[in-house]
């Protein structure tokens, strides 16, 4: 048990007598690897005290009385027979976009591949056209609706990428909306500039177009985004049909020189160099990773790069799943994220995707929960803020209407989220 600090003024919130409390607290903020990824810090019959939006005490319910004695403004939530765990951390989303690509869903189900969809005017460039057509306020309204639905499914922290602007103003607009979601709207957000998502239409079929676009990304878009404080990270789609490892290295090195952290879309379509590049540059995260060999896993482990798995995309596109079991056994820290985007995976429930990581990527339920809380937070540089239940951390918490955390997988997709707390306030 950890002794309670001096009481703060204002309302005291208590989550009382949980059947299971998943603290994930082992005294370190580092991403978990190997066997430690399955250690949830499970406590039975414990309570949580919250003041000023921060967790101030956790301990056996029998010892709660003296902790809250004298508090006149108490809000107590009875958690007997329920599970309390950290709010989910979605460390890979493309949440800010305009329009939709529902027609592509039907084309894909009818057998069309990505090339056929692209030839029909679909794919990333379809979302670029629709996103560019919206004003910032229109884009914000559409994105906020999505974000609130995702929060109702348990996500309290979001990484949000741009990449549907592909020009300076479009990227600015997307990232300004991401910042608004993390400011005025009270969500917890990390923003990532993904200007190198695809080659925009205006640079295709033009002599020297790829070079000119890369120059614009490196010398116009990234410097402007950094100067305006609109991003925490930069990302690049390093894969077949997008950007080569050499092109991606150029963008990432420029971003790092400007002070941005690095993330990489890697090895979704094959062992095409993205994972090794992420390791070489010490990226915070390498994402997708459907195709990996032992050498690539070892490189990620030595670099301390978090492997972020996106099983929802594999489900929607009918692709193989990344081998999460091999990554855990190789000592690579694993995160799980939704990849929520308008084309290849519009799934909004990270709780459901967490279950897919068990059925598809071969993680255990405990490993998947760690992957969608603490390890995801560590990949975003937020492990000292969210992803665990311990005094001093933000009170972003979930209550599940079940007595066993494994039901998130066993009953995947069922409405088990009984309550969502963000900064100590019940928001769902």
4 in any annotated domain: no
Q: Both 77 and 160 in a single domain?
A: no
Q: Both 368 and 392 in a single domain?
A: no
Q: Both 156 and 168 in a single domain?
A: yes
Question: What gap in Å lies between CA 59 and CA 44, rounded to an integer?
Answer: 10
131 in any annotated domain: yes
307 in any annotated domain: yes
197-242 pLDDT, tens per residue? Answer: 999 999 999 999 999 999 999 999 999 999 999 999 999 999 999 9
5 in any annotated domain: no
Q: What is the pLDDT of residue 9?
A: 53
Q: Both 235 and 324 in a single domain?
A: yes
228 in any annotated domain: yes
395-415 pLDDT, tens per residue? Answer: 999 999 999 999 999 999 999
CATH number of the domain residue 329 falls in: 3.20.20.140
226-282 pLDDT, tens per residue? Answer: 999 999 999 999 999 999 999 999 999 999 999 999 999 999 999 999 999 999 999
419 in any annotated domain: yes
51-106 pLDDT, tens per residue? Answer: 999 999 999 999 999 999 999 899 999 999 999 999 999 999 999 999 999 999 99
- How confident is the model over 123-129, as a mean pLDDT? 94
> Considering its fold, how many domains does the chain have in total?
2
Q: Both 110 and 219 in a single domain?
A: yes
Q: Both 184 and 310 in a single domain?
A: yes
Q: Both 345 and 303 in a single domain?
A: yes
Domain assignment of residue 405, given as a range: 12-87+387-426
Q: Both 54 and 92 in a single domain?
A: no
Q: Both 122 and 80 in a single domain?
A: no
Q: What is the pLDDT of residue 7?
A: 40
What percent of the chain has pLDDT above 70? 98
2 in any annotated domain: no
398 in any annotated domain: yes
Q: Both 124 and 236 in a single domain?
A: yes
Question: What gap in Å lies between CA 343 and CA 9, rounded to an integer?
Answer: 47
Q: What is the mean pLDDT of the chain?
A: 95
Q: Both 108 and 73 in a single domain?
A: no
Question: What gap in Å lies between CA 292 and CA 235, rounded to an integer?
Answer: 20
Q: Both 279 and 367 in a single domain?
A: yes
Positive or negative, the CA dihedral 233, 239, 245, 247 is negative
CATH number of the domain residue 83 falls in: 2.30.40.10
pTM assigned to the model:
0.96
């Amino acid at each position: 048990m950890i002794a309670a600090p001096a009481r703060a003024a204002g309302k005291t919130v208590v989550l009382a007598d949980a059947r299971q409390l998943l603290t994930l607290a082992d005294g370190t903020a580092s991403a978990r690897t190997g066997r430690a990824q399955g250690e949830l810090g499970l406590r039975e019959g414990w309570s949580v005290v919250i003041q000023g939006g921060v967790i101030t005490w956790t301990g056996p319910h029998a010892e709660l009385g003296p902790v809250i004695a004298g508090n006149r403004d108490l809000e107590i939530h009875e958690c007997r027979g329920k599970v309390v765990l950290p709010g989910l951390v979605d460390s890979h989303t493309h949440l800010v976009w305009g329009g939709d690509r529902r027609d592509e869903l039907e084309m894909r189900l009818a057998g069309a591949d990505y090339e056929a969809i692209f030839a029909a005017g679909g794919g990333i460039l379809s979302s670029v056209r629709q996103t560019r057509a919206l004003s910032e306020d229109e884009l914000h309204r559409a994105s906020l609706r999505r974000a609130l639905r995702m929060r109702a499914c348990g996500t309290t922290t979001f990484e949000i990428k741009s990449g549907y602007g592909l020009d300076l103003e479009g990227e600015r607009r997307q990232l300004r909306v991401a910042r608004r979601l993390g400011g005025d709207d009270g969500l917890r957000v990390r923003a990532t500039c993904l200007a190198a998502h695809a080659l925009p239409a205006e640079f295709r079929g033009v002599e020297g177009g790829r070079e000119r676009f890369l120059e614009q990304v490196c010398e116009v878009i990234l410097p402007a985004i950094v100067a305006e404080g609109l991003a925490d990270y930069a990302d690049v789609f390093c894969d077949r049909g997008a950007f080569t490892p050499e092109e991606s290295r150029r963008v990432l090195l420029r971003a790092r020189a400007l002070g941005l952290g690095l993330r990489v879309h890697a090895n979704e379509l094959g062992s095409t160099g993205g994972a090794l590049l992420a390791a070489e540059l010490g990226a915070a995260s390498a994402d997708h990773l459907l195709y990996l060999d032992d050498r690539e896993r070892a490189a990620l482990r030595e670099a301390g790069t978090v492997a972020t798995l996106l099983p929802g995309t594999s489900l929607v596109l009918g692709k193989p799943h990344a081998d999460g079991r091999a990554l855990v056994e190789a000592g690579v820290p694993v995160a799980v994220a939704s990849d929520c985007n308008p084309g290849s995976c519009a799934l909004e429930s990270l709780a459901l995707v967490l279950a897919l990581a068990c059925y598809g990527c071969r993680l255990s339920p405990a490993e998947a929960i760690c992957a969608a809380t603490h390890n995801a937070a560590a990949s975003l540089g937020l492990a000292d803020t969210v992803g665990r239940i311990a005094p001093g951390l933000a009170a972003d918490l979930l209550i599940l209407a079940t007595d066993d955390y494994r039901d998130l997988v066993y009953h995947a997709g069922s409405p088990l989220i009984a309550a969502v707390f963000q900064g100590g306030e019940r928001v769902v």
